[in-house]
């Protein structure tokens, strides 16, 4: 039985759009949620623009399972780095942007340097098919998120 998550899951792509256009989508939690395999909706707590310290409640779905998670923006370096920490499992999800000759390189990560919480690992093992399989599913979902982001931005 696996006892900790892989500390880092990562995918990347290049998008033929300027970093500012990519930034506008990834820092809009409502838009970003619609691009994810798992996050159905994200509700911003409060009314201020999204920035460092912004809190959200996410509604996640996997098949018939639906569950909420709570997040807080922990890195907000405009047009470079956007990250939010999931309170419920101690992971941080991030998007790192870098300009390229033809657009923007986007790296999407799930960071868990100390693993995830004990309850999260237990749920992954007992309900979600095991930690290794769920991490693989998350990585595939991250790649799907980037592909949908690419299609969205390159079709404009």
Q: Report whether 46 contacts 54 (CB < 8 A).
A: yes
Predicted pLDDT of residue 117: 61
Q: Which of 14, 33, 30 is nearest to 22 (CA)?
A: 14
Domain 8-154 homologous superfamily, CATH: START domain (3.30.530.20)
Measured CA to CA, the distance from residue 141 to residue 146 in angstroms comes to 9
Which comes out higher in pLDDT, residue 123 or 154?
154
Predicted pLDDT of residue 22: 98
What are the percentages of helix, strand and coil residues in the chain, rounded to 5? 30, 40, 30
Q: Is 1 helix (H, G, I), strand (E, B) or coil?
A: coil
Which comes out higher in pLDDT, residue 64 or 131?
64
Q: Give backbone dihedrals phi and psi of 24, rounded to 5 degrees, phi first.
A: -60, -35
Handedness of CA 13, 69, 60, 18 (dihedral sign): negative
Q: Report whether 3 contacts 121 (CB < 8 A).
A: yes
Tens of pLDDT, residue by residue over 77-108, are 999 999 999 998 888 999 999 999 999 999 99
Report long-range pairs for 62-65 (Cβ below 8 Å, ≥24 apart): 62/38, 62/128, 65/127, 65/128
What is the 8-class DSSP label of residue 75? Answer: E
Tens of pLDDT, residue by residue over 32-58, are 878 998 898 999 998 778 999 999 999
Which comes out higher in pLDDT, residue 146 or 133?
146
């Amino acid at each position: 039985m696996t006892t900790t998550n892989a500390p880092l899951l990562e995918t990347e792509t290049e998008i033929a759009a300027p970093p500012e256009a990519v930034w506008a989508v990834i820092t809009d939690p409502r838009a970003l949620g619609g691009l994810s395999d798992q996050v159905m909706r994200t509700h911003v707590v409060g009314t201020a623009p999204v920035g460092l310290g912004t809190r959200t409640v996410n509604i996640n779905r996997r098949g018939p399972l639906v569950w909420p998670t709570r997040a807080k923006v922990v890195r907000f370096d405009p047009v470079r780095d956007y990250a939010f920490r999931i309170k419920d499992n101690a992971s941080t999800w991030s998007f790192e942007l870098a300009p390229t000759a033809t657009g923007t390189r986007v790296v999407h990560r799930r960071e868990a340097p100390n693993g995830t919480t004990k309850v999260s690992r237990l749920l992954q093992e007992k309900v979600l098919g095991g930690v290794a399989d769920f991490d693989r599913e998350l990585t595939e979902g991250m790649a799907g998120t980037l592909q949908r982001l690419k299609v969205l931005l390159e079709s404009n």
